[in-house]
Amino acid sequence: MEPRPWRERIHDEDALLQQLTGLVTEAADRRAEALLEGVADLGTIADVARDLGLSWNAVDKAIKKYERRKTGGTTTE
């Protein structure tokens, strides 16, 4: 059996990367929605960050990135 041509392998890997990128985006959106629920429950981003053992900046960035994506804004990634 001959190995598949490199062009076919690249096409297949590109398709897989596109699928995985979509899955990562969906997971990030669900995570940000949960973070927003945490803010509604605990009161502030800082409180959520403390509760999860994360930095305030990490929680804030995740929420802002989600909000930009949902409003059609651009992201840097």
Q: What is the 3-state secondary structure (H, E, C) of 11-68?
A: HHHHHHHHHHHHHHHHHHHHHHHHHHHHHHHHCCHHHHHHHHCCCHHHHHHHHHHHHH
What is the structure's pLDDT at 76? 53
Q: Give the pLDDT of residue 74.
A: 59
Domain boundaries, the chain: 6-70
Tens digit of pLDDT per residue, the chain (77 long)? Answer: 889 999 999 999 999 999 999 999 999 999 999 999 999 999 999 999 999 999 999 999 999 999 999 998 755 55
**Using CA atoms, how far apart are residues 25 and 21, in angstroms rounded to an integer?**
6
pLDDT at 1: 84
Distance, CA of 77 to CA of 41 (rounded, Å): 29
